[in-house]
């Protein structure tokens, strides 16, 4: 295989966005992906472009999520102009539905605190039962209120991935599937990457392998502290539109099907669906919208989130190996414009912008020995 200026390892939403950004900026980039047997959150996620509640423990993450969500409209338009693919980006807002007064109060307090610390202030409305029922007449009798924000939205994650890949190829990038990376090392002034398809040499390497980063990034002294967190999702048959904006764990697609679930479980690398969790997901969804009870479930699946210890992205680069980068992110759909934009430009120019990424360094996990 020929040498490439940049090699991105991992063809999920993060790797595809970075590769697209690099290729569009004129860099020679090759994207290596393991293939169908890999864990791929990009193909099993919910598709939310979500801000509400993001960054509760790290204001810089709240700011990054909000700024990037604001960039999504132009990003979707740019992708469509580049590829002809409409990724179904919509921004009607989103809400947390609350089933008890305590939950409503706790969420309201948490979001107020988060907004106070964030540099980019978000509009957040606390809605009584009557107010949410006016906006979403289908809510059930157990709903006591909701928290609404106009900044949230969604996109079709599969169209997004397809558009990113199509654009990558259009701008001269190369995509190699079935290229599981086994090892990465420095060789002379560049990197040697051994894959199932043979060795590849490059000047810069970007680890975007999702859960695969945990094993790969440390080979160059980079950190990717990620663990799998399983989410299970159900999809119903298509129905007339009743959900004009998303609820954190329920959304209706443009085609009419409803996605719900998004449970959260520590199940190691087991990505099977389980009946008890699917049943609980369905129960909660039916409590919020009783009309869902009569719908047929047409599909269900589970996928593994790429979770860092605090849920905040980890972006790593070291002085010892300056042209290697590791990006480990849970919200890869939401952050796609950032990865394709500022992040790709920083990588092309040879270094992460420390002002931008310092709060996301893995150094935050270093604890002093007692």
| Binding region for ligand FAD (CB under 6 A) | 9-15, 32-34, 38-42, 44-48, 50, 180-181, 208-210, 212, 216, 231, 233, 262, 303-306, 329-334
The residue at minimum Cβ distance from ligand FAD is 12
Q: How far apart are CA 230 and CA 271, in angstroms?
A: 7
Q: Shortest approach of ligand FAD to residue 154 CB, angstroms?
A: 7
Q: How far apart are CA 321 and CA 64, in angstroms?
A: 26
Q: Shortest approach of ligand FAD to residue 270 CB, angstroms?
A: 13
Q: Shortest approach of ligand FAD to residue 178 CB, angstroms?
A: 9
User: What are the DSSP calls for 26-73, one per residue?
Assistant: T--EEEE---TTS--GGGT---EE--TTTTSS-HHHHHHHHHHHHHHH
The dihedrals phi and psi of 302, each to the nearest 5 degrees, come to: -130, 155
Nearest Cα residue to 169 out of 334, 344, 22: 22
Task: Output 122 or 331, the one with its CB closest to ligand FAD.
Answer: 331
Q: Shortest approach of ligand FAD to residue 195 CB, angstroms?
A: 7
Task: Output 128 or 229, the one with its CB closest to ligand FAD.
Answer: 229
Task: Output 288 or 314, the one with its CB closest to ligand FAD.
Answer: 314
Beta bridge partners of 227: 307
235 CB-contact burial (10 Å; exposed 0-12 / middle 13-18 / buried 19+): middle
Task: Output 21 or 332, the one with its CB closest to ligand FAD.
Answer: 332
Q: How far apart are CA 215 and CA 64, in angstroms?
A: 27
Q: Shortest approach of ligand FAD to residue 282 CB, angstroms?
A: 16
Task: Output 32 or 288, the one with its CB closest to ligand FAD.
Answer: 32
Q: Shortest approach of ligand FAD to residue 291 CB, angstroms?
A: 23
Task: Output 288 or 367, the one with its CB closest to ligand FAD.
Answer: 288
- Residue 263 is classified by DSSP as -
């Amino acid at each position: 295989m020929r040498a490439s200026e940049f090699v991105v390892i991992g063809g999920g939403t993060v790797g595809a966005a970075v590769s697209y950004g690099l290729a569009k900026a004129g860099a020679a980039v090759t994207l290596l992906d393991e293939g169908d047997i890999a864990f791929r959150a990009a193909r099993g996620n919910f598709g939310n472009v979500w801000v509400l509640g993001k960054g509760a423990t790290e204001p810089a993450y709240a700011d990054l999520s909000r700024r990037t969500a604001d960039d999504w409209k132009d990003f979707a338009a740019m992708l469509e102009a580049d590829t002809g693919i409409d990724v179904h980006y919509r921004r009607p807002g989103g809400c947390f539905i609350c089933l008890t007064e305590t939950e409503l109060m706790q969420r309201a307090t948490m979001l107020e605190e988060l907004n106070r610390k964030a540099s980019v202030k978000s509009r957040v409305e606390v809605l009584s039962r009557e107010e949410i029922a006016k906006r979403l007449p289908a809510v059930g009798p157990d709903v006591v209120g909701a928290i609404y924000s106009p900044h949230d939205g969604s996109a079709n994650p599969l169209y997004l991935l397809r558009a990113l890949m199509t654009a990558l190829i259009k701008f001269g990038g190369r995509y190699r599937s079935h290229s599981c990376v086994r090892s990465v090392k420095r060789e002379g002034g560049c990197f040697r990457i051994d894959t199932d398809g043979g060795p590849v040499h490059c000047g810069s390497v970007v680890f975007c392998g999702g859960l695969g980063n945990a094993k790969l990034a440390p080979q160059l002294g980079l950190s990717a502290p990620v663990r799998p967190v399983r989410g299970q999702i159900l999809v119903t048959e298509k129905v007339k539109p009743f959900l004009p904006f998303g609820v954190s764990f329920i959304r209706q697609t443009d085609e009419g099907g409803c996605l719900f679930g998004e449970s959260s479980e520590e199940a190691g690398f087991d990505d099977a669906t389980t009946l008890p969790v699917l049943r609980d997901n369905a129960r909660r969804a039916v409590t919020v919208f009783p009309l869902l009870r009569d719908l047929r479930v047409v599909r269900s699946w589970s996928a593994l989130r790429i979770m860092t210890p605090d849920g905040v992205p980890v972006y790593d680069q070291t002085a010892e190996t300056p042209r290697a980068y590791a990006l480990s992110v849970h919200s890869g759909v939401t952050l796609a414009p950032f990865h394709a934009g500022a992040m790709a430009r920083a990588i092309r120019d040879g270094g992460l912008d420390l002002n931008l990424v310092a709060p996301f360094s893995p150094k935050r996990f270093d604890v002093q020995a007692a």
